[in-house]
């Protein structure tokens, strides 16, 4: 499914098997989003975390949420009943609206590369 979703973006996006790589490490027990983000960062990439607006209300339950967001800035996708979630809380990141198509359009337009090159 991820490969199908990434296909319209072409070579600008590719599907990672990083979670499977992490799970294969001897002694790996917990699986937190931060573990995955750190793994991706260590491989030389600058990840972004795409989340639905509904997830943000539970951000305090995530393991080291502030570290996750610092290492993988958010792209927040509006969800029914939560279209502007995160904005009022001051979460950092880009609010992409309510459409996977919009996210693909941002990627196709080079938004991620421009953002990565901009000073934080």
Domain ranges of the chain: 47-120
pLDDT digits (tens, 9 = 90+) for 17-64: 888 888 888 888 777 899 999 988 998 989 888 888 888 888 999 999
- The rounded distance, in Å, linking the Cα atoms of 9 and 79 is 22
Residue of 113, 106, 120, 108 lying closest to 46 (CA atoms): 113
**CB under 8 Å to 102, separation ≥6 — which residues?**
77, 96
pLDDT digits (tens, 9 = 90+) for 58-113: 899 999 999 999 999 988 877 666 555 545 444 455 555 556 666 677 777 776 55
- Please check whether residue 108 is in contact with residue 9, taking contact to mean a CB–CB distance below 8 angstroms: yes
Ramachandran angles phi, psi of 60, nearest 5° = -65, -15
């Amino acid at each position: 499914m991820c490969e199908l979703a990434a296909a319209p973006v072409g070579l600008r996006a590719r599907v990672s098997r990083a979670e499977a790589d992490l799970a294969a490490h001897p002694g790996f027990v917990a699986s937190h989003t931060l573990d995955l983000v750190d793994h991706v960062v260590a491989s030389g990439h600058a990840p972004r975390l795409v989340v639905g607006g509904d997830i943000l209300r539970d951000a305090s339950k995530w393991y080291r949420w502030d570290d996750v967001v610092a290492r993988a800035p958010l792209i927040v996708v509006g969800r029914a009943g939560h279209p502007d979630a995160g904005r009022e809380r001051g979460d950092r990141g880009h609010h992409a609206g309510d459409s996977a198509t919009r996210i693909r359009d941002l990627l196709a337009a080079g938004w991620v590369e421009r953002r990565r090159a901009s000073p934080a």
